[in-house]
Structure 1
Amino acid sequence: MAPTRADGVQFKTSGRRRGRSRVRLSLATALSLLVLVTAGIGWAYFKFNGNIDTFGADGISGNRPAASRDGQNVLVIGSDARTGGNSDLGGGDKADTGRSDTAFLLHVYGDHKHAVAVSIPRDSLVDIPPCRLPDGRWTKPQSKVMFNSAYSVGDTAKGNPACTQNTVEQLTGLRVDHTIVVDFIGFSKLTEVVGGVQVCVPKDIYENDLNPHLATRGRRIFGKGEQTVSGQQALDYVRIRHGIGDGSDIGRIKRQQAFVASLLKKVKSDGLTPTRLLPLANAATQSMTVDPGLGSPDKLVSFAMSMADIDLHNTKFLTVPWRYEGARVAIVEPDAGALWAALKADRTLDGQDAGGKGSGAKDAKQAPGPSPAPSASGPISGKGIDIAVYNGTTVTGLAARATEALKAADFNITRTATARTQDYRTTVIEYGPGRKDQAEAAARLFATTDLRTTTDAGVSVILGQSYAESASGPAAAGPTALPSAVAAEARSGDDDLCTGLSNG
């Protein structure tokens, strides 16, 4: 029936007006939904923002390597800190000093289609640089100490992630762009949110395999074979060290690598949708400590999405080249140096270039500020100049070649040796107080503009890959692929669950 006016006269409502009403209703509904969705996102943003803990940048060393060409390096630390309820999962004293239970350096290549995670055994003997204590003082350098002791510098319950970052940068010669620390609770919740992670257990596991101090073997906590684990059981799986293989940290690392690969596979198979990601983000941020560069939800999301296109097969896991040195682990050179150099150059494990575009601009922007070399012409004379020569590449015999060139120019060679890291792309001249003129003379011989001051006396030349190429052509620039023994140890993200595990 048509509507009636106040005076009793009926009139027709046009279809056009009814159409406008429906449009208004639809628009109002859409706006309401938009408000609700926006409010939900805003709520999630503030919730996640409140979850995120950061560690202070004041503990990060000022003496850092230059950035990689186009890739980025992320240090991931699994902390065994017992604070905040973690002792309920991992046992131990709540006030105990925090340690790094596991650590790996994730290199995301410049093409954002490849990645490699390099595990560093906790028992590795390394040099720890000066690190900041809670009271603001800096420690003295330590030599040949266990890698996981870097996280314990300062003896605090939450640990010292900045010190571990400094140690990794010194060890690898790679700049760590971000550091992420995950504790027991965070790890446990992540595995629950994804609905469990599939793993392979090489043998039956009992309680005393997890805790060797028990008088009896206790109940069986894992049966042999493939199974899905989450929560406490997932934590037990990645922490088991005794009772499998030789009981070392190396065998445990292999299982941890397989676990992370399986976790990534599960997340990718579920789909990167808001429904899936919001609970995952909530669980992750509740028990995560990050560097200031990742200290907000948008930064974390941006970082996560930058890796969305990396295929599982192109995600590799390996352990830094190592050998036993008594009860500890020694890092093997020059294999380790070749690995760090490959990552610095964005070379995959099989020697392919996986760098992104525009690397030259990034290098120019982020390299530490070198002093320009002089443009003077004429003969180069090194008479009266003492100089030390270091090979900063994996090319053998390069220091000997440079020594001959220096001697021919009358420089006096005081030492030849291998540099601390072998990932120098360009040749660097370092000089002490009052030695700038001498450094400039050496820089002319090596056609480098990278001059750097140091507190050490004298002048040092650290040979880079550019000198190797100019001295004897591209063929002598060193292998483009890693030593076969290193690459053969790598695990792909899509490998069979039971492949490459330590079976003893």
Structure 2
Amino acid sequence: MTGTRGKRGSGRMRIPAVVVLALLVLLTTGAGWVYLKLNGNISTFDADGLSDDRPGAGAAGQNVLVIGSDSRSGGNSGLGGGEGDVGRSDTALLLHVYGDRKHAVGVSIPRDTLVDIPPCRLPDGTWTAPRTRAMFNSAFSVGESAKGNPACTQNTVEKLTGLRVDHTVVVDFEGFSAMTSAVGGVQVCVPKDVYAGDLNPHLGARGDLLFRKGQQNVSGQKALDYVRVRHGIGDGSDIGRIRRQQAFVASMIKKVRSQGFNPTTLLPLADAATKSMTVDPGLGTADKLLSFAMSLKHIDLHDIKFITVPWRYAGDRVDIVQPDADALWASLKADRTIDGQDATGKGSGSGGGTGGAGGGTGGGAAQADAAAPVKGDGTRISVANGTTVTGLAARAAAALQERGFTVTGTSTATDRDQATTVITFGPGQAGRARALTRMFPGAYVRGDAADGISVTLGRDYAAASSSSSSGPDAGPGAGPGAAPGSAPGAESSAAPSGASSPEPKEQARSADDDPCADLSYG
């Protein structure tokens, strides 16, 4: 069963991985303290399967990959999951929690997205060969084990996004069913009447009415039916289902928040979640989950956003749209919200090896004033051209020299297809490197063992500098109207294109949005 318009009536009926996204409720409501009683519920997966070639750790925001298993193993067999005992995942969501701990965004990745899957570890300890243009959800099934392969999915997401995944969580739909019951049901909206035949196209008939058009409260099996239905609504695709799933999670977050931090409500919810949860070793105890969850309790509903990676149909599959997706990943690396605001939490002194622009890397060095001009004061810096645009490094070098930097050399990077400009810095240069992001908006900043600073120019700089003014205050990459800290293409990443033409643009959903708004694609 594919999640695209080309095969609306074929394949197996499976629970989409959005059932696991209810974990976001616990991560964004401050309910983490209840985990102190729940150590025995938590399982961890083997981290030996994580790649040795990973992006650098973030200095400000954190990334949590939420994926799901819909196998029939255990108590899931009676809830309509996938066939057999092989762990499968239909959807995944990458939750980015910004450095200020006041904003978060969940980016859905459709299960049929064509991606490159890097080498993945099998249960016998051997590693697979890399694959190109494979279905994204197939990464979770590598090795065909009942528990699935979360490490392989994490490796795939890191390769796709260039973001380091700090934590990965897998939850099955048995736990989702129990969670919706624990909170007394969730308000959802259905754009039209839905029948049993819409849920199961193999029924051969319309069947009984499952949902009447309009707003209603669902829990347990009814909630499962709501999040997995896709036929008979819109174009019958997985894209439309993702939108309804995002609306469901938003509504569940609102429900828990409205009940307050009441142990009578939260303990059953956390118990249901942790019984069906598998996490990376970094979240493998109640106190670790407590620490992470409590750091998120002050995020306002309006500042919890849901979007889908920019996409387009590719026959029966989904392709990622560029450069829209690269602009989105760059904004997350730089800890910019999807409407272009700096959410690094300046002055927080967060440490770490690498991070997005302004990410507060290293030693709590003070953030540079975004309004102040960048002054090199003789700082040594090298520049490499990571694109095919002739003369790009020389152009940047000239602008840097005007600001007082000492350019030690220009060169051509080995990789000439870099989407995002990268600034690396050595000991004692973190503050200067972060200040450079005002000259190279959207650049990714990371620590390096070498001395000094180096800049490897990406296509973002090439695009911005081609339209920049020539005034001395413009700086490299500062196109007309660009604000400090705004990436080239920020308008696109503020509301990433749902797809390039002819697909429509998709707007972000907030957790406080009307549950009936923008539910169906097609």
> TM over 0.5: same fold?
yes
- Give the AA of the match of 1:479: P
3-state secondary structure, aligned to 1:86: helix
Number of corresponding residues? 415
Q: Is 1:499 equivalent to 2:505 in the alignment?
A: no
CA distance in 2, matches of 1:461, 1:474: 13
Distance 1:412 1:424, change over 3 A: closer
Distance 1:256 1:363, change over 3 A: same
Equivalent residue for 1:62, pick from 52, 61, 80? 52
Asked if 2 retains the 8 angstrom alpha-carbon contact of 1:69 and 1:355, the reply is: no
Distance 1:399 1:296, change over 3 A: farther
- What is the CA distance between 1:426 and its match in structure 2? 3.6
- Give the AA of the match of 1:296: T
The equivalent residue for 1:84 is 74
- Give the AA of the match of 1:48: L
Equivalent residue for 2:457, pick from 463, 471, 474? 463
CA displacement 1:253-297 (0-9 Å, x = unmatched): 000000000010011111123333211111110111111111111
- Give the AA of the match of 2:342: D
Q: Is 1:344 equivalent to 2:333 in the alignment?
A: yes
- What is the CA distance between 1:70 and its match in structure 2? 1.1
CA displacement 1:38-74 (0-9 Å, x = unmatched): xxxxxx8686211111101101111111122311111
CA distance in 2, matches of 1:449, 1:305: 28
- What is the CA distance between 1:451 and its match in structure 2? 7.0
- What is the CA distance between 1:209 and its match in structure 2? 0.9
- What is the CA distance between 1:424 and its match in structure 2? 3.0
Asked if 1 retains the 8 angstrom alpha-carbon contact of 2:240 and 2:519, the reply is: yes
Equivalent residue for 2:213, pick from 220, 224, 230? 224
Equivalent residue for 2:41, pick from 45, 51, 54? 51
3-state secondary structure, aligned to 2:201: coil
Distance 1:146 1:423, change over 3 A: farther
Distance 1:134 1:114, change over 3 A: same
CA displacement 1:116-153 (0-9 Å, x = unmatched): 00000001000011111000011111101110001011
CA distance in 2, matches of 1:253, 1:423: 32
- What is the CA distance between 1:242 and its match in structure 2? 1.2
Asked if 2 retains the 8 angstrom alpha-carbon contact of 1:130 and 1:139, the reply is: yes
The equivalent residue for 1:390 is 386
Asked if 1 retains the 8 angstrom alpha-carbon contact of 2:189 and 2:216, the reply is: yes
Asked if 2 retains the 8 angstrom alpha-carbon contact of 1:119 and 1:318, the reply is: yes
- Higher helix proportion (structure 1 or 2): 1
CA displacement 1:178-233 (0-9 Å, x = unmatched): 11111110110110000000000011111111111111111111111100001111
Asked if 2 retains the 8 angstrom alpha-carbon contact of 1:90 and 1:184, the reply is: no
3-state secondary structure, aligned to 2:165: coil
Equivalent residue for 2:260, pick from 271, 286, 300? 271
The equivalent residue for 1:422 is 420
List runs of 5+ in structure 2 lacking aligned partners. Answer: 1-33, 363-377, 398-406, 427-445, 466-472, 480-485, 498-505
Distance 1:264 1:364, change over 3 A: same
- What is the CA distance between 1:413 and its match in structure 2? 5.4
% identical equivalent positions: 64
Q: Is 1:402 equivalent to 2:393 in the alignment?
A: yes
Any residues of structure 2 matched to 1:39-438 within 5 Å, and which? Answer: 48-95=38-85, 97-358=86-347, 362-364=351-353, 389-391=385-387, 400-402=391-393, 417-419=416-418, 422=420, 424-426=422-424
- What is the CA distance between 1:366 and its match in structure 2? 7.8
- Give the AA of the match of 1:90: G
CA distance in 2, matches of 1:449, 1:312: 34
The equivalent residue for 1:475 is 478
269-278 vs 339-348, greater mean Cα deviation: 269-278
- What is the CA distance between 1:365 and its match in structure 2? 7.1
CA RMSD of aligned residues (A): 3.5
Higher RCO, 1 vs 2 (CA within 8 Å, ≥6 residues apart) = 2
Asked if 2 retains the 8 angstrom alpha-carbon contact of 1:206 and 1:221, the reply is: yes
- Give the AA of the match of 1:54: T
Distance 1:124 1:403, change over 3 A: farther
Distance 1:168 1:233, change over 3 A: same
CA distance in 2, matches of 1:402, 1:208: 60
Distance 1:257 1:91, change over 3 A: closer
How does the TM-score come out when normalised to structure 2? 0.72
The equivalent residue for 1:486 is 496
CA distance in 2, matches of 1:80, 1:59: 21
CA distance in 2, matches of 1:156, 1:471: 55
CA displacement 1:280-319 (0-9 Å, x = unmatched): 1111101111111111111112222111100110111000
3-state secondary structure, aligned to 2:38: helix
Distance 1:359 1:130, change over 3 A: farther
Distance 1:47 1:350, change over 3 A: closer
- What is the CA distance between 1:482 and its match in structure 2? 3.8
Distance 1:204 1:416, change over 3 A: same
Asked if 2 retains the 8 angstrom alpha-carbon contact of 1:55 and 1:161, the reply is: yes
CA distance in 2, matches of 1:73, 1:341: 13
Distance 1:91 1:473, change over 3 A: closer
- What is the CA distance between 1:399 and its match in structure 2? 6.8
- What is the CA distance between 1:422 and its match in structure 2? 2.5
Asked if 1 retains the 8 angstrom alpha-carbon contact of 2:424 and 2:455, the reply is: no
Distance 1:360 1:501, change over 3 A: same
